[in-house]
A and B are shown apart, each in its own frame.
Chain A
């Protein structure tokens, strides 16, 4: 039963008020994309033990999507932040580094 802070409405929302949306920061590939790119976009998901970036929707609250940086093993939440970002902002990355100096996620670290 996680509690996540919704960066839009400011509520610390209970997991029952939230809807999980899977991995964050996917790049959409449409017509013209290679088979590999499209497969990666549609099917290949990271499944890390440790730092992960996820999409969450405050479904029974303000209705907004937001992103969370979280440890999948300890459930520690490093930050929640705007869904209108293509990559984790610097302050989010710094917050993770402060707790997990050796973290990496795809090309990020």
Chain B
């Protein structure tokens, strides 16, 4: 069994007990425990089921590489799936549940898949579910969906808060082991601004466990001393529990800091968004498993993890541990176990000889060392019970069975090259050490073309303390120099190592393992990929490592193959008879380990998700029943709901009252762009399709804007303010983009033209005063003359109304007598209130955007975004009158000369009137009397705007129809989803006051 030892762990504080629960069971751990160490201390070896075969899974590692111990954690608003037990610090009240099992962890029905494994080979998704076709939708997919995915999706909102933190530093050091500490020391002494991050809760990395000698003292003493020196320097920022997640272009780095768990008010995670001149990746190495039959059983762990649990947490995995290895490092585990009073029946070393100091120490400690041997098979069900031993060189003939309850395996070490590789750092295969390591000659490059990432320590392939320290210190110095820091760095730390004998790569144990053994030798524990699967993929022609990965799902689980990738590609290269470097690695992509969605979001939620633009009258709208709709980032009232009426009722009431008496529209959101300067007229003649330079001062003109592709982009009324100044109204959504569009042309094409453009949209509140009583209400406010003679249709005047300084435009988008009155934004609400007071006797009614749309549609006015969709030219809308023939050029003119644009077969705008008075569905297509080559009905038009007209008391619509204007009176059939087609007649698009008499009174 696994249990807490009497000898205290380095990191745990046994005076502080912590209670937590696993699968509903209440358990106890200590401060400093990870969830994994606390579970193991409570003999909870079985922590989950594998993805495909639902095999029992135990904790394999003690770090971020853990593939198995993934938990559903927390409850309700604080629930999150796939939390890694090995990197989760224990906190009081933590609730964890194992994943991927049904009905229970101990008894799992899906485990039957394991018995069927010969029917679930590599690529089985692709092979199994092709025939019969209907089975995919009705049988296979529902079953796969039910069994796919680890953990449960959270329901509802996340109760925690998160934040982003921006930092600019000279040197960022990722990794707080002795390499990272050395790097930070050198860089900081040189005077560079340093950010040092460590993903675990403690400094020192592996050295703190293995305690080599540094500068004549134990490593932990040196670590404490160095951390203290760094902490005292003002130019150094240090963070524990902060993982370097990704390295991106031009020295951008994301780091993920875990702050507070357990539903506190403080932020749970912090995402560091760092710009660094230089990045040092002192990210350490990950131990590789060995591939032997049954290596996935609970109780089989990485050798270094076994000693981590003993040294750091005072937890033993088992009483009798067999160590199996191909290198010297695993001997340290045997020695640590022995020292802790635990039994090590044998060290199984695949190498022919083991005579170095570590092997000697093991023998001296009375441990039996078997060289040239391997594990044939691990025995046991939910827990290791024994291993059978065989010759490594053979096919697995068993020579001996050794009872044990733990297997500590080591296949060598792989440098963590992820962050080096994210932004393009290249790797070399180091055959002597059997590892991919960074090629320092080919680093990721920054904006100057210089390398900006420096690997350090084990992450750079230096396995010995001496080299780790030297390399780390040198990296810090190099980075500081590159970042411009020139201070003296002094003497670097010196380490001491015992001699070690070289690793002998072992990619399969035993070397000639039978198919039966190979099909139980796991490469990827989480996704259930075995040696036999990769060999099958190679046999089936998958030669690229990237293809093999996707075909077998090797390395595609949430651990991203941290344990499996190198072993997998070694097996693949062997099967392909190629060298490992020729097969290559899969691509390393950020983040290094998964980071929370909350951290990515940061504070950008609720009101901070996106800024909402509000007009000066917004509060009045909100207090008076406004049903808001988003228009760009604005919120505009769709209609104002009174009492129990429906939205539809409200819209009809607003239209009717405006047509009968008086309505008000908050038109403040319409874009207002001032264009001025000696060349402003010439510039506007290019921007608009019509002639704006000839517009007399005091007058208004409706204009169209097209893209260079000829398509209609925006429209609005332009007012000539003075000799050199025009005010251009744009659509609400178009204000910012049209302003940017104008700037683009002025800065990049006609930079010699003397024009100044300013977006003054928010400087003014604007109210449309609309209806037969519009003039009366303005006259009641008093001030300027707003009579027909003094202020004719399509003109504007400055003046006063009541106490307000105003600019009044006599323009109409409704067909009624209408004044659009602009006041300073700060006066907007007061002016609105004054109009409501003065208008009370006329039953004044504010109206929303839907009433606005209906009234413009009754008048046959187009709306950008309804009648246009980026493929419509003004000619399609019969607006040739707005295309100046006097001008040699305007944006879009050349495009409109293209043959397709001039084609008489284009769909053109017409009015549509249903025969039965109903409202056509929006976007409905007109059905042509012909069939296309796929047997579908052809179309000959579509509805662009459709409303119920309360004025005419029937449906009205506009649409684009093939040769529409030539087909007045024809009846078309329109699609109607779920019903019979609807018949509608082609009519004039102006349904109301065709002569325009009402607006010009």
Contacts and interface: CB of A to CB of B under 8 A. Distances in A.
Interface of A: 1-4, 14, 21, 28-33, 35, 38, 42, 55, 57, 59, 63-65, 71, 74-77, 83-84, 99
Contact of B449 (A35, A84, A99): A99
A76 B499 CA distance: 44
B749 A1 contact: no
A55 B893 contact: no
Contacts of B249: 1-2, 75
A38 B743 contact: no
Contact of A42 (B252, B740, B749, B895): B895
Contacts of A33: 894
Contact of B744 (A30, A65, A71): A65
Given A3-B275, A74-B449, A77-B447, A55 B748 contact: yes
A83 B893 contact: no
Interface string B478-497: 00000000000000000000
B894 A38 contact: yes
Contact of B889 (A14, A30, A42): A30
A1 B250 contact: yes
Contacts of B252: 1
Given A29-B894, A31-B888, A31-B889, A3 B447 contact: yes
A4 to B, nearest CB: 8
Nearest to A77: B447
Interface in B554-601: none
A4 B445 CA distance: 15
Interface in B444-459: 445-449
Contacts of B449: 71, 74, 76, 99
Contact of B248 (A1, A65, A74, A83): A1
Contacts of B743: 63, 65
Contacts of A31: 888-889, 893-894, 897
B747 A65 contact: yes
Interface string B219-255: 0000000000000000000000000000011111000
Contacts of A65: 743-744, 747-748
A75 B447 contact: yes
A63 B736 CA distance: 12
Contacts of B424: 74
A2 B447 contact: yes
Interface in B892-920: 893-895, 897-898
A52 to B, nearest CB: 14
Interface string B751-762: 100000000000
Contacts of A99: 449
Interface core residue of A2, A21, A28, A55 (most chain B CB under 10 Å): A28
A30 B891 CA distance: 8
Interface of B: 248-252, 275, 424, 445-449, 708-709, 740, 743-744, 747-749, 751, 888-889, 893-895, 897-898
Contacts of A29: 894
Given A21-B744, A76-B448, A83 B751 contact: yes
A68 to B, nearest CB: 10
A33 B893 CA distance: 11
Contacts of A59: 740
A105 to B, nearest CB: 17
Contacts of A35: 898
A42 B708 contact: yes
Given A3-B250, A83-B748, 10 more contacts: A3-B275, A21-B744, A30-B889, A31-B893, A32-B894, A35-B898, A65-B744, A65-B748, A71-B449, A77-B447
B736 to A, nearest CB: 10
A87 B889 CA distance: 24
Determine chain A's interface SS by DSSP, over half rule.
Answer: loop
14 contacts: A2-B250, A3-B250, A3-B251, A3-B447, A21-B748, A30-B889, A30-B893, A31-B889, A38-B898, A57-B744, A74-B424, A76-B445, A77-B447, A84-B751
B478 to A, nearest CB: 20
A103 to B, nearest CB: 13
Contacts of B251: 3
Contacts of A14: 275
A1 B757 CA distance: 31
A24 B275 CA distance: 28
Report which residue of A31, A55, A59 has the largest number of chain B beta carbons within 10 angstroms of its beta carbon. A31
Nearest to B252: A1
A57 B747 CA distance: 10
Nearest to B887: A31
Nearest to B166: A14
A76 B894 contact: no
Contact of A64 (B447, B747, B893): B747
Contacts of A63: 743
Contacts of A55: 748
A74 B250 CA distance: 10
B30 to A, nearest CB: 42
A33 B888 CA distance: 12
Q: Name the residue in B424, B447, B740 with the highest tally of chain A Cβ atoms < 10 Å from its Cβ.
A: B447
Q: 4 closest Cβ contacts across the A-B interface?
A: A1-B252, A76-B449, A84-B751, A77-B447
Given A2-B250, A30-B889, A83 B747 contact: yes
Given A30-B889, A30-B894, A65-B744, A42 B709 contact: yes
A53 to B, nearest CB: 13
A28 B749 contact: yes
Nearest to A73: B424
Contacts of B708: 42
Of B708, B709, B894, chain A has the most CB atoms within 10 Å of the CB of B894
Contacts of B747: 64-65, 83-84
Contacts of B740: 57, 59
Nearest to A55: B748
Nearest to B749: A28
Nearest to A24: B748
B275 A74 contact: no
A31 B883 CA distance: 14
Nearest to B899: A35
A30 B686 CA distance: 11
Nearest to B449: A76
Contacts of A28: 749
A87 B275 CA distance: 32
A84 B746 CA distance: 10
A29 B889 CA distance: 10
A59 B740 CA distance: 9
A62 to B, nearest CB: 11
A99 B445 CA distance: 13
Contacts of B888: 31
A55 B447 CA distance: 17
Given A21-B744, A42-B709, A75 B751 contact: no
Nearest to A5: B447
A64 B751 CA distance: 12
A27 B448 CA distance: 29
A99 B889 CA distance: 42
B419 to A, nearest CB: 15
A82 B445 CA distance: 25
B743 to A, nearest CB: 7
A14 B275 CA distance: 10
Contacts of A84: 747-748, 751
A75 B250 contact: yes
Contacts of A21: 744, 748
B875 to A, nearest CB: 15
A26 to B, nearest CB: 9
A32 B765 CA distance: 43
A99 to B, nearest CB: 6
A64 B740 CA distance: 10
Nearest to B707: A42
Contacts of A71: 449
A59 B748 CA distance: 14
A42 B901 CA distance: 15
Nearest to B423: A75
A30 B889 CA distance: 7
